A and B are shown apart, each in its own frame.
Chain A
């Protein structure tokens, strides 16, 4: 009898550790909606960088136009 009790206890304890193995993710942060703050900030940086590239692209186009007129 005692053997079985120990066995059941061990199985239960292994289940308990199994439940603890749930991987920790940023669920709280997500549920609070703070992840949108991160996306907004990085989005702004991305837009800034791309905007900078677009302006640079236009400047080079203008320069090319000027040069082709001079030729």
Chain B
């Protein structure tokens, strides 16, 4: 229980997000109105995805320096969880966009960039599925992982800022920019981000532990 304290922190933060996110006051803005509360749930998905993909890339580099199964499994499972968060981020974004921008797919640079980044990561799993040899699969996918991460950063962080994106922080919709400074929302938003990241790590570690158990079972079968 002692070493699982961060799981409890995650649960507490998520419960806090839910209660404070719906009950605390938010800035009154046109067009987005009450839907601004979606920020507490939609944006942490992306933060979660970026953290998961970063960890995945770190283990991909570690694998290339020291090719162990552990590094490979960690890299894959964090990428898996990251993709899960990304898919949730893009679908929640589409629902939100439908009501504030007028259509689910607006061709917004950040939206397109995020979609391309997700496709790049989907190709990572296609690559893994298509190589039979385990060692080759791990090495190739580790190299690809690093490239995927290097492609994601400009797609999500740089290109949308160079063009006019409707996402806040990239020019465009002035109504959205107001909450950038709102301290009431930060009180909920940052705990939400930490809570969701910890939940993502929890899910990833569960997947890693299951993979490890599977491997051990295979080893035992080999002995028998």
Contacts and interface: CB of A to CB of B under 8 A. Distances in A.
Interface of A: 21-26, 35, 38-39, 42-43, 46, 50, 53, 56-57, 60, 63-64, 67, 70-71
Given A38-B22, A57-B206, A60-B206, A46 B14 contact: yes
A68 B21 CA distance: 43
A70 B34 contact: no
Contacts of B212: 64
Nearest to A22: B28
B210 A60 contact: yes
B209 interface: yes
Contact of A23 (B28, B202, B203, B206): B28
Contacts of A23: 28-30, 33
A58 B170 CA distance: 44
Nearest to A70: B220
8 contacts: A22-B28, A26-B33, A35-B22, A46-B18, A60-B210, A63-B213, A64-B212, A70-B220
Secondary structure class of chain B's binding surface, majority of residues: helix
A67 B210 contact: no
Secondary structure class of chain A's binding surface, majority of residues: helix
Interface string B191-209: 0000000010011001001
B19 interface: yes
B216 interface: yes
Contacts of B216: 67, 71
B11 interface: yes
Contact of A60 (B22, B30, B34, B213): B213
A33 to B, nearest CB: 11
A42 B23 CA distance: 13
A68 to B, nearest CB: 9
Nearest to B34: A26
Given A25-B28, A35-B23, A53-B203, A64 B209 contact: yes
Nearest to B30: A23
B33 A24 contact: yes
A42 B7 CA distance: 19
B100 to A, nearest CB: 13
A60 B203 CA distance: 12
Contacts of A26: 33-34
B218 to A, nearest CB: 11
